A and B are shown apart, each in its own frame.
Chain A
Amino acid sequence: MNPIKFLEKQGCKVTYLDVGEDGVVKPEDVEKALRPETVLVSIMYANNEIGAIQPIAEIGKILKNHRAIFHTDACQAAGYLNLDVEKLGIDLMTVNGSKIYGPKGTGFLYAKRGIRLKPLMHGGGQEAGLRPGTENVPAIIGLSEALAKVQKRRVKESKRLIAIRDYFIKRLTKEIPKIFLNGHPKKRLPNNINISILGVEGESVVLYLDEAGIACATGSACNSEKLESSHVIMAIRNDYAYSHGSLRFTLGKDNTKKEIDYVMKVLPKVVEKLRKISATWQK
């Protein structure tokens, strides 16, 4: 969102679209928001916090007969979803290395033939005049290898992770009272589990889990630099109890169902303990 805010500061007129309770953008909202002079539509392929997968292909169809350039941030999606830019109707696509087991600090912008870009940094002349500086060949090769590898196994890996994800969500919602899944149950990344646990604050849960060797993240304000809770959870819930009490687990290639069983051994006890001392939990 910040790059768009930057453009707004430069004088561009921006329309921000809302999402539904499931965190998904409605294609008809994109259609309604389009103006004849719209030059750019940017919608992330899958949300990093709640894993919501956006209807990129449908939006691509809407934009087919419009002058606007269609950009998607596919950083979270690259390991699991189809990146066929022609089928999706995408003009520009961002992918980075660190989300796909590639080298950190690498990334690329796909641009459809015919789209002319201006450099952000000037000088040199490398990368077709778009980015100055001697090319980091090992990083480039590393990124391209990483992408080829995750895309090759994405269908199989997605299937494996969806089974673990859904098993985890089922156990969470069954075994812990007042716990709510954020985002759509099916239209979500295979590796994303985001829940809100009422009566507890996210940072506390994260630190108790950390003590038990479990790593996860929270959208609570207490864990952010700006001391603001997650705007993503607020956009879908509009309730601080949900944003401060949100937890995100992200699965990767090395995670197993057995590890989920371990989390489920620890987490209910942590929640019980923190609810016991909580001022917002009705006993």
Chain B
Amino acid sequence: MAEVDNWYYSDKVKEHFLNPRNFLVEDPKDGEFDAEGEAGNMACGDIMKVWIKIDSETKKIKDFKWRTWGCASAIAATSIFSVMITEKGGMKIEDALKITPQEIIKRLHGLPLRKIHCSVLVDKAFHNAISNYLENKNFPPPPTLRVGYG
């Protein structure tokens, strides 16, 4: 029989799109997170917001939550990124800042070519959140931080 269940996206994208992980359910309470960041715009059709909680001792990401308005690949990219930086006890800030859109796409088992530029914005939102966090704490920004990125 012919394959009729062929999705435009990879199975990994589909899985994270239909079952997104780590999104923010309730609006955050005061002090629940250390900083937030945003990326995207209305005209392009993708906006994502992220919230981070940092362990001030270890500089590891203790919690990462997000909300995304956008297409399937935007939702899936945000969801998989949240897994990438919180798995195995949480990534260190400096390592998390090195994650590239290409690595996110790889974890998603690829994205359609024309979707790459517009839908992988979560790393930008994350950089903005870290920038806000460092500013609040009066920490100097590391060279890997891209301020105003995206």
Do residues A280 and B118 form an inter-chain contact, with CB atoms below 8 A?
no
Smallest CB-CB separation from B78: which chain A residue? A277
B147 interface hit (Cβ, 8 Å): no
| Minimum Cβ distance to chain A for residue B38 (Å) | 7
Identify the B interface with A (CB < 8 A): 17-18, 20, 23, 25-27, 38, 40, 42-49, 66-75, 114-115, 118-119
Please indicate the chain A residues that have their CB under 8 angstroms from the CB of B49 in the complex: 279
Please indicate the chain A residues that have their CB under 8 angstroms from the CB of B66 in the complex: 277, 279
A-B contact count (CB 8 A): 72
Please indicate the chain A residues that have their CB under 8 angstroms from the CB of B46 in the complex: 201, 222
Do residues B45 and A279 form an inter-chain contact, with CB atoms below 8 A?
no
A109 interface hit (Cβ, 8 Å): no
Smallest CB-CB separation from A282: which chain B residue? B27
Smallest CB-CB separation from B118: which chain A residue? A227
Residue among B38, B49, B71 having the largest count of chain A Cβ atoms under 10 Å:
B71
Interface of chain B: mostly helix, strand, loop or mixed: mixed
Do residues B69 and A279 form an inter-chain contact, with CB atoms below 8 A?
yes
Chain A interface size range? 20 to 34
Identify the A interface with B (CB < 8 A): 199-201, 203-204, 207-208, 211, 220-223, 225, 227, 229, 240-241, 244, 276-281, 283
Report the bound CA distance from A278 to B25 in whole Å: 10
Could you list 28 examples of A-B contacts with CB < 8 Å? A201-B69, A201-B70, A201-B74, A203-B71, A203-B72, A204-B72, A221-B44, A222-B45, A222-B70, A222-B72, A222-B74, A222-B115, A222-B119, A225-B114, A227-B114, A244-B42, A244-B45, A276-B23, A276-B25, A278-B69, A279-B49, A279-B66, A279-B68, A279-B69, A280-B42, A280-B47, A280-B69, A281-B69
Report the bound CA distance from A200 to B66 in whole Å: 15
Tell me whether A204 and B71 are in contact in the complex, defined as CB-CB below 8 angstroms, given that A241-B42, A279-B47, A279-B49 are known contacts.
yes
Do residues B45 and A221 form an inter-chain contact, with CB atoms below 8 A?
yes
Do residues A200 and B45 form an inter-chain contact, with CB atoms below 8 A?
no
Instruction: Give the contacting residue for A277; candidates B40, B45, B68; CB below 8 A.
Output: B68
Report the bound CA distance from A277 to B70 in whole Å: 10
